[in-house]
Chains A and B, each alone.
Chain A
Amino acid sequence: MLPEVIASFIVGVFLFVYAILGAIDFGSSFWSMYYLRRHTEAGVIANRFLSPTWEVTNTFLVLLVVSFVSFFPKAAFTLGTVLLVPVSIVLILISLRSAFMVFAYSVQSYQQTLRIISGIAGFFIPILLISALPVTQGPFIGIKNGVETLLTTKWLTSASTYYYMLFGLTSELFLSSLFLADYAKEAGKEETYRVYRKKAIIVGPVTLVSAILTLLVLEPEAKWLLDNLFDQVEWFVLSILFYLIGYSSLWWPDARSDSTGKPRVAVLLIVVQYMIASYAYASAHMPYIVYPYMTITTGFTGEVTFRALFWVYVVGLAVLVPGFYLFWRLFLKDRRYLRQEE
């Protein structure tokens, strides 16, 4: 396999991991705000998950950016220039959210205000992040004075952009409510589980519809992508199949307790669904990183650096795996942490 294909696969995996973790992370922030007064325990559960994990999730964002710049520095040049303003706004929101979340944990008395601000920021971040995707399809980039520039008005008035945003929003809410349903069940909070299960049941179908709309409603300049997407149709069918089974598992009987639904199965199957769909989408996008300006070949770093980077990844991940395992055991598995009373 060509090194640039391996590199794009690695970056793609990081992008996928961050998209899923980020959706759960920012979504939990939103639910923690949403249930602040309505259902305190649901808010507490969301917060208990967030406190130790947001830092690690945030690190994945930096990992994604650094690996993209390292493997595709020339493509980073183009995207960095085009996306200066939108990415800067996302950075400001991320900073406010992280800071306010930490402050809320430290200063209990202002917790409500701080949680509301970080919840609102968390709500908007995924929407803004995903709105960068249609930019890479080409229709919103023009050349001004020899510099590639974002056509802001066209970008912000295009229906396609808003379908992407809608898809980002629904995915965020769907994935996070599913995850928190499972997390609540693991913690033995039956009532909270039902609260999040209900939300997942409502948001689930909306997510699927918005995903299909997002793929079909594209700018005329992005017709190349649509043609390629039709070549991947069997993958999308498979992904919908996983969605249907995953969604239905929210009604499967659970032998251990008297409640309905197997949230763990649902989370896993839905993540697999996203994985298949993302793979199909990415394949259709190939070989372009930014259409038609950058492909994975023209944006690539070069073989020597690639090889060194590759081994750094192998060693680095091998060193970190025990750390991740310990982390998972302490915060996602340990009943003493999950079931503590406030």
Chain B
Amino acid sequence: MDQTTITRAFFGTSLAFHIIFATLAVGISFMILVSEIIYQRTKDKDYELMAKRWTKAFAILLGVGIPSGTIVGVQLTLLWPGFMKIVGQVISIPFQIEIFAFFLEALFMSIYVYAADRLSGKMRVLSVFFVSVGATASATLITSANTWMNTPAGFDMYADGTIKNVNTWAAFFNPSYGWAAFHVAISAFMAGAFAIASVSAYRYLKTPTQERKVLAFHRKSLFVSLVVGFVMSAITALSGHGSAQGLYEHSPEKLAAAEGLFKTQRYAPLSIGGYTDPTTHEVKYDIEIPYALSILAGNWPSTEVKGLYEFPEETWPPFYVHTLFNIMVGIGMLLLALSFIALAYWWFFHHKKQRAFPNWLVWILVASGPLAMLGIEFGWIFSCSGRQPWTIYGFQRTSEAATKAAHVGNLFVLFGFLYLLLSVLVVAVMRIYFKRNPLAKELAKRGDGHVT
């Protein structure tokens, strides 16, 4: 492998690892906020306990999320010094504001976790609100830098690489920023909700039927997370559509690669599944829906969609982005359908006829959390692979951005082991903690639990 590929693989691994924890931090802090609010309104103590237990899990996840975020932040400069040289001159503002959001999150997280017993109900909600705001703001601010890489704005670059006419705010609010930031935040809420739904569903299945208080607790948390998951996946689909129209307008080359479209055409079909054949330049084994791509891109069948032939072949993104794009959209749709079916079932059979949830459906719900996380990973990989061979589209190639220093490969191996170790440990710590503090015990401590 050449230096650029190793650097990409290295940084990609760091990001893929960090994104899991960053997304869960945004999503779960939002869920904690939801359950704190429900508790303050209904005074149902189950929701208080829910918030408490989720916070515990959240704090353990942060034990990895904060260092991995620090790693990614510093590695940007270490591995992509050429890129950060331009970033520092043009678009450092979102990075800078992100630090303040990070401060907000860290400060109030400590306050919420270590001073909970000294805070009033309102102050508790307020602290967890700031945690959630901080986490969400961090995610949307950092997205600005990413969308700027896709649709650069706010500067001119001369042939010798010098930067002139910087307009920091135009760079910040670059053309594809709005929808993408919305999409990132909402999909993180979705992933957090489904992560909770997964665990609740699993625990619900594993609880013996005589432990009714425990079952009721899991049923409540499953219901809350399904409602949030459904609403958020619906908005995720909507914002994803907005982002895709943004691709049509501002990044046609990426959209063409995502759809495996080579010839510019009106009445373009949407191709689902299959793979892009690099020799014949067509998508094989796919399902084609006539006109659909044109309608999705510009709301009208006669919309002209640009194909890859419009662009020089040496800057085409890799063809596998078609598959990445399909997986991302597919998972999103699946989750939307799944949560809709579960809630419909709930309404018609459980709510109206007092019938229990069927086990097969709950088993499928167990898969929803990991699926959501995969969807997010594929989305990010799509966004960044679809920009190749550029780091800053049209301005800087990835090979120009990568570090020229030695030992990148060795460090990759070293960090690989670190991520592996932390992954194993975070799972082990979760298991040990929740085994030591089972729900039944905490319900009993509260005084109304049913202990067998």
Does A334 belong to the interface (CB within 8 Å)? yes
| Secondary structure of the A contact surface, majority rule | helix
B35-72 Cβ-contact flags toward A at 8 Å (1 or 0): 00000000000000000000010011011101111110
A300-320 Cβ-contact flags toward B at 8 Å (1 or 0): 011011001100110011011
Residue pair A59, B67 in contact (C-beta under 8 Å): no
Pick from B60, B86, B107, B425: contact of A56, CB under 8 Å: B107
Residues of B within 8 A of A94 (CB): 67, 70
Residues of B within 8 A of A82 (CB): 405
Pick from B62, B103, B115, B169: contact of A337, CB under 8 Å: B115
Contact segment of B194-202, B290-298, B319-327, B410-418: B410-418
Pick from A73, A78, A107, A145: contact of B87, CB under 8 Å: A73
Residue pair B403, A84 in contact (C-beta under 8 Å): yes
Does A63 belong to the interface (CB within 8 Å)? yes
Does A112 belong to the interface (CB within 8 Å)? no
Residues of A within 8 A of B110 (CB): 51-53, 55-56, 327, 331
Residues of B within 8 A of A105 (CB): 59
In the complex the two chains form, what is the Cα distance from A52 to B82 in whole Å? Answer: 37
Pick from A55, A62, A309: contact of B73, CB under 8 Å: A62
Residues of A within 8 A of B69 (CB): 62
Residues of A within 8 A of B59 (CB): 102, 105-106
Pick from A66, A88, A331: contact of B96, CB under 8 Å: A66
- Quote the shortest CB–CB distance from A156 to chain B (angstroms): 15
In the complex the two chains form, what is the Cα distance from A118 to B409 in whole Å? Answer: 27
Does B95 belong to the interface (CB within 8 Å)? yes
Does B85 belong to the interface (CB within 8 Å)? yes
CB-nearest residue of chain A to B87: A73
Q: When A51-B114, A313-B96 are in contact, do A323 and B103 touch as well, CB less than 8 Å?
A: yes
Residue pair B67, A99 in contact (C-beta under 8 Å): yes
Which A residues between 180 and 199 are near B, CB-CB below 8 angstroms?
none
Total B residues in contact with A, Cβ cutoff 8 Å: 72
In the complex the two chains form, what is the Cα distance from A51 to B111 in whole Å? Answer: 11
Which A residues between 43 and 101 are near B, CB-CB below 8 angstroms?
51-53, 55-56, 58-59, 61-63, 65-67, 69-74, 76-85, 87-88, 91-92, 94-96, 98-99, 101
Pick from A70, A78, A304: contact of B167, CB under 8 Å: A304
| Secondary structure of the B contact surface, majority rule | helix
Residue pair B102, A62 in contact (C-beta under 8 Å): yes
Does A35 belong to the interface (CB within 8 Å)? no
Residues of B within 8 A of A55 (CB): 62, 66, 106, 109-110
In the complex the two chains form, what is the Cα distance from A51 to B114 in whole Å? Answer: 8
Residues of A within 8 A of B415 (CB): 88, 92
Residues of A within 8 A of B81 (CB): 76-78, 80-81
Pick from B76, B108, B429: contact of A107, CB under 8 Å: B429
In the complex the two chains form, what is the Cα distance from A52 to B107 in whole Å? Answer: 8
Does B84 belong to the interface (CB within 8 Å)? yes
- Quote the shortest CB–CB distance from A277 to chain B (angstroms): 27
Residue pair A73, B166 in contact (C-beta under 8 Å): no
Residue pair B422, A66 in contact (C-beta under 8 Å): no
Residue pair B414, A305 in contact (C-beta under 8 Å): no
CB-nearest residue of chain A to B108: A323
Which B residues between 409 and 448 are near A, CB-CB below 8 angstroms?
411, 414-415, 418, 422, 425-426, 429, 432-433, 436
Residues of A within 8 A of B168 (CB): 304-305, 308
Residues of B within 8 A of A268 (CB): none
Which B residues between 86 and 117 are near A, CB-CB below 8 angstroms?
86-90, 92-93, 95-100, 102-104, 106-111, 113-115
Residue pair B166, A63 in contact (C-beta under 8 Å): no
In the complex the two chains form, what is the Cα distance from A103 to B107 in whole Å? Answer: 19
Residue pair A80, B73 in contact (C-beta under 8 Å): no
Between B75, B77, B98, the greatest number of chain A beta carbons within 10 A of the residue's beta carbon is seen for B77
In the complex the two chains form, what is the Cα distance from A137 to B64 in whole Å? Answer: 35
Does B74 belong to the interface (CB within 8 Å)? yes
Q: When A91-B71, A95-B418 are in contact, do A330 and B63 touch as well, CB less than 8 Å?
A: no
Residue pair B166, A102 in contact (C-beta under 8 Å): no
Does B159 belong to the interface (CB within 8 Å)? no
Residues of B within 8 A of A301 (CB): 88-89, 92
Residue pair B425, A149 in contact (C-beta under 8 Å): no
In the complex the two chains form, what is the Cα distance from A323 to B163 in whole Å? Answer: 38
Pick from B77, B79, B418: contact of A92, CB under 8 Å: B418
In the complex the two chains form, what is the Cα distance from A322 to B354 in whole Å? Answer: 50
Pick 12 A–B contacts, CB within 8 A, sort by A.
A55-B110, A62-B102, A66-B99, A69-B84, A76-B81, A78-B81, A84-B405, A94-B67, A103-B425, A304-B166, A320-B104, A336-B118
Chain A residues within 8 Å of B, Cβ to Cβ: 51-53, 55-56, 58-59, 61-63, 65-67, 69-74, 76-85, 87-88, 91-92, 94-96, 98-99, 101-103, 105-107, 109-110, 145, 147, 149, 301-302, 304-305, 308-309, 312-313, 316-317, 319-320, 323-324, 326-327, 330-331, 334, 336-337
Chain B residues within 8 Å of A, Cβ to Cβ: 56, 59-60, 62-64, 66-71, 73-79, 81-82, 84-90, 92-93, 95-100, 102-104, 106-111, 113-115, 118, 130, 163, 166-169, 403-408, 411, 414-415, 418, 422, 425-426, 429, 432-433, 436
